[in-house]
Structure 1
Amino acid sequence: MKTPHRESVLSRSARILEAFSQEEPALTVSEIARRAGLHVATASRLVAEMVGHGFLSRDVDRRVRIGVRLWELVTRASPTLSLRDTAMPFMEGVHDVVGHHVQLGVLDGEDVLFLERLSAPNAVINYTRIAGRLSLHASSSGLVLLAYGPTSVKEAVLSGPLIAYTSATPAAPARLRAVLAEVRQQGYAYCPGYVHQEALGIAAPVRGAEGAVVAALSVIVPNESSAHAVVPVVRTAARGISRALSAPPTGESRPDGNESAT
């Protein structure tokens, strides 16, 4: 497949990294070249360089996968690391109560990107995973992020194709606008059977220091009427994460002039 003659090495390298997925974490050089739209010789040369830097690694059968060095650099500098670390104790508390899935998602383009997920054996079906994505209009986390997100994102989603995962998915623009208004009015998303008929998602907004919604905390539980009892648990935990994100770091002065405890 031909690529632009003046395309940068960085652009080609980015396409190589994007060729991998959680379903297929190890690929041959030929597979990488095909998915990245590169000539095999070009892909082979770039892969060799990236292996040399530790960004990629080779298995004993010569298949290529993402390298540990890349994971190290991303983790060290990730802008979502403090959000995840702050949220984790609250997520663990919610997980102890619900015994199913607890997730933390952020807005990324026109998707919800999941930073963390806690699960359990025999938990209800759930299509999400860490570093996985879902459509904003169908998931409880996505609806919270869309309801409180930029107008430009709302309009882009509303004007684009809306996939109906089930008959309950708000896949018509008028229905989606009504659902978003309801989320803003009640302060949480309640989504019975939106992605899978057996599963129900509940999500609440997590706010940063400036008060803007920076993430969504959600649970995926069985689609039963008793799930309403979980709503206060999710909302309380989301508010707890929000307060923790807004708290000054240890040792810094508070607005009243006193210092935080050390």
Structure 2
Amino acid sequence: MSGPGAPAHRVRGSRPPHGDPVVDRALSLLAAFDTRHRYLTLAELSRRSGIPASSALRLAQRLMAWGALERGDDGRFSIGLRLWEVASLAPRGQGLRQVAMPYMGDLAEVTRQHVLLAVREGDEAVLVDRLSAHQAMPVLYHVGGRLPLHSTGVGLVLLAFAEPGFQEEILARPLVHEPERTAVSPAELRRTLAEVRREGLATVRRRAPEPLVTVAAPVFAAGGRIAAALSVVVPEEHAEPRLLGPAVRTAARSISRGLGAH
């Protein structure tokens, strides 16, 4: 049978044209977990991944054998430590964190709040590290979490120093501020990005879930390319952007020098 509606037949010993479906299903299984779903039953794993329970169980057992998944006494699955070990080898995370940690520690000591370090991954920012004091205000950000580029301090920095074509792609989209759910004006965002490039700082004020101020600065690598964004997050009543800005900028420049930037 041939034609556009005919099923594809796999030739023994060859790979299917669009990747190995077993690998795709295994990745779907891992993607079923997130910060609100750290432990999943087999039924939940099947439903969230879209994989039948029998197949999900076989894949989960393979992943458990390798260490990517673990299963507790209650029968629920969770991400395994082997996956964390592999992820920690990512150069953009590990090397960057080693250079940045002393300077992040200095900022955390001064602010007694949150210090964030993020990199761009696709069209989002990914938080690779966070230092938080015991008395720090509650925030929505967690290590490994993704943040929008257009409405967070680290996101605006990463977007402002990204290649122009990528910026235009983001500006052409219908954007909404989170968690306020208010529309973003492309013209206003364009002005904000120009100001971030000019000042070397992004300042964001947010009213929800609690009033806060974020001040962020770019971290550059060798060759002048943007490598990351560094920020502090403080309660609005304690915010002094004129004082925080120079401290964050100085720390970011020190990290940049450690990464080989001039």
> Do both proteins adopt the same fold according to a TM-score greater than 0.5, normalized to the shorter chain?
yes
Q: Give per-residue Cα distances to partners, 1:216-236, cap 9 Å, x unaligned.
A: 000001224623211110000
CA RMSD of aligned residues (A): 2.1
2:60 matched to 1:27? no
Q: 1:36 aligns with which of 34, 49, 62?
A: 49
Query: Contact 1:26–1:65 (CA<8 Å) still a contact in 2?
Result: yes
What secondary structure sits across from 1:80 in the alignment?
Answer: helix
- The structural deviation recorded for 1:168 is 11
- The structural deviation recorded for 1:55 is 1.0
Q: Which amino acid aligns with 2:28?
A: R
Partner Cα separation in structure 2 for residue 34 and residue 167 of structure 1: 30
- The structural deviation recorded for 1:197 is 5.6
Partner residue in 1 for 2:156: 143
Partner residue in 2 for 1:237: 251
Q: Give per-residue Cα distances to partners, 1:81-103, cap 9 Å, x unaligned.
A: 10011100100011111111000
What secondary structure sits across from 2:224 in the alignment?
Answer: coil
Q: Which amino acid aligns with 1:236?
A: T
Q: Give per-residue Cα distances to partners, 1:156-202, cap 9 Å, x unaligned.
A: 22122311236797811111001001101111101122765611110
User: In the superposition, relative to structure 1, how do residues 24 and 168 fare at CA in structure 2: closer, same or farther (>3 Å)?
Assistant: closer
User: In the superposition, relative to structure 1, how do residues 48 and 167 fare at CA in structure 2: closer, same or farther (>3 Å)?
Assistant: closer
Partner residue in 2 for 1:214: 227
Partner Cα separation in structure 2 for residue 108 and residue 159 of structure 1: 19
TM-score by length of 1: 0.87
Partner Cα separation in structure 2 for residue 185 and residue 135 of structure 1: 21
Structure 2 unaligned residues grouped into runs of 5+: 1-6, 9-15
Count matched residues. Answer: 244
Q: Give per-residue Cα distances to partners, 1:57-111, cap 9 Å, x unaligned.
A: 1000110011111112222354421001110010001111111100000011111
Partner residue in 1 for 2:84: 71
User: In the superposition, relative to structure 1, how do residues 239 and 168 fare at CA in structure 2: closer, same or farther (>3 Å)?
Assistant: farther
Query: Contact 1:204–1:218 (CA<8 Å) still a contact in 2?
Result: yes
- The structural deviation recorded for 1:153 is 2.5
User: In the superposition, relative to structure 1, how do residues 79 and 215 fare at CA in structure 2: closer, same or farther (>3 Å)?
Assistant: closer
TM-score by length of 2: 0.87
Q: Which amino acid aligns with 1:100?
A: Q
Partner Cα separation in structure 2 for residue 192 and residue 169 of structure 1: 14
Query: Contact 2:180–2:208 (CA<8 Å) still a contact in 1?
Result: no
User: In the superposition, relative to structure 1, how do residues 114 and 167 fare at CA in structure 2: closer, same or farther (>3 Å)?
Assistant: closer
2:244 matched to 1:192? no
Bigger Cα displacement from structure 2, 74-83 vs 213-222: 74-83
Q: 1:89 aligns with which of 88, 102, 105?
A: 102
Partner Cα separation in structure 2 for residue 143 and residue 82 of structure 1: 23
User: In the superposition, relative to structure 1, how do residues 142 and 195 fare at CA in structure 2: closer, same or farther (>3 Å)?
Assistant: farther
Partner Cα separation in structure 2 for residue 178 and residue 80 of structure 1: 30
Partner Cα separation in structure 2 for residue 168 and residue 68 of structure 1: 36
Query: Contact 1:138–1:195 (CA<8 Å) still a contact in 2?
Result: no
2:135 matched to 1:122? yes
Structure 1 unaligned residues grouped into runs of 5+: 248-262
Q: 1:159 aligns with which of 164, 167, 172?
A: 172
Q: How does 1:6-17 map to 2 (within 5 A)?
A: 8-17=21-30
Q: Which amino acid aligns with 1:9?
A: V
Partner Cα separation in structure 1 for residue 59 and residue 110 of structure 2: 48
Query: Contact 1:138–1:169 (CA<8 Å) still a contact in 2?
Result: no
Partner residue in 1 for 2:242: 228
Q: Which amino acid aligns with 1:118?
A: L
